[in-house]
Amino acid sequence: MFVGPWLLIPLGLVGFVTAAPKATRLEYLIWGSFVPVYAVAVAVFYVTDRYQLPMCGHREHKDTEKNTLQVARSTRRRRAAGASVSQSLRGLSKSIHRRNCDDTEI
Amino acid sequence: MRSLRPLRSTWICLAATFALKLVVLLQLKDHVLTQPDAGLDTTAYVALADRVIAGDAGLGPGLYFLSPLYIYFLAAVLAVSHSFTAVRLLQIVLGTGAVALIYIASDEWFGRRAARLAAGLSALTGLFTFYESLLLQTALDPFLTAAAMACLTLALTRGHTRSAIRFSRTTNGLYSA
């Protein structure tokens, strides 16, 4: 059982780009967006992610200090992801609002 | 449009995948860390499943502190079979199903050769088989993800839009649970 994320992730990414079907591009993008959207959703919202299938192999838990450091890093990452998502949503809603206002003025 | 009817070679490959997973399962099932009383989440899942079997279906008062789907999955299988080996066996059957679903999705998008490669690589992924041998909610993840992706694929590429989207939504809902 030699196959792991070290092989699947690079092969998958290369295949996803190079083997994209030309005729059904939009459908393909909708299908392909599942994994990143799900990953972001887990990073932002899922609280007890200790036992979810690890995306990058096993994480080693050797000592308490390291665990604490990992938890702190994980919390920071989640906060950063949440902040960037909320900022992009805010930007998107602002631009939609601006466009709607422009339409009303016209 | 290709037929979804499996070929004989597909059944042979799936049988080989099941056999491979069965070997890993037999090697891991008696390991001290994979037992129901090993502590942590596995023990909690088993205790909650026992409560469900005893009639406390809502598991109240209080909130779910573990994924609810796996508690009910475990309770359903244990109520029928009273055996943890049966639970693990069902999990590797679902894992074999995940390989088939990966084949279906890849075949639709990239063709038969890529589908064979994708299915072969997923069958040889040790991480999937390892988690399928444990009593944890992660055992269902490969199957539910593959099912959601395959249903979405069929919804987008074939005419069965409504039913496939409904299945995709259901599997995604189960996955979230």
Kindly list the residues of chain B whose beta carbon comes within 8 Å of any beta carbon in chain A. 24, 41, 65-66, 109-110, 114, 121-122, 124-127, 129, 131, 136-138, 141-142, 148-149, 152-153, 156-157
Say which residue, A82 or B74, is predicted with more confidence: B74
Q: What is the pLDDT of residue B39?
A: 77
Residue B1 falls inside a structural domain: no
Whole-number Cα distances in Å, A94 to A82, A87, A105, A106, B11: 18, 10, 16, 18, 54
Whether the pLDDT of residue B2 is over 70: the answer is no
Q: Across residues B121-134, what is the average pLDDT?
A: 91
Residue B109 falls inside a structural domain: yes
* Inter-chain CB proximity B156 and A27 less than 8 Å: yes
Say which residue, B128 or B6, is predicted with more confidence: B128
Residue B146 falls inside a structural domain: yes
Q: What is the pLDDT of residue A89?
A: 62
Q: Where are the beta strands (DSSP E) in A1-106?
A: none
Whether the pLDDT of residue B148 is over 90: the answer is no
Calpha distance B117→B174 (Å, rounded): 28
Residue B74 falls inside a structural domain: yes
Nearest residue on chain B to A8, alpha-carbon basis: B121
Total structural domains within chain B: 1
Calpha distance B42→A69 (Å, rounded): 25
Q: Across residues B73-88, what is the average pLDDT?
A: 93
Residue B48 falls inside a structural domain: yes
Say which residue, B94 or B6, is predicted with more confidence: B94
Q: Across residues B131-154, what is the average pLDDT?
A: 89
Residue B125 falls inside a structural domain: yes
Structural domain including B100 reads 8-176
Calpha distance A46→B152 (Å, rounded): 23
Whether the pLDDT of residue B143 is over 50: the answer is yes
Residue B3 falls inside a structural domain: no
Residue B2 falls inside a structural domain: no
- Residue-wise pLDDT tens digits, B30-61: 888 888 887 788 899 999 999 999 988 888 77
- Mean pLDDT, chain B, rounded, equals 86
Calpha distance B106→B150 (Å, rounded): 8
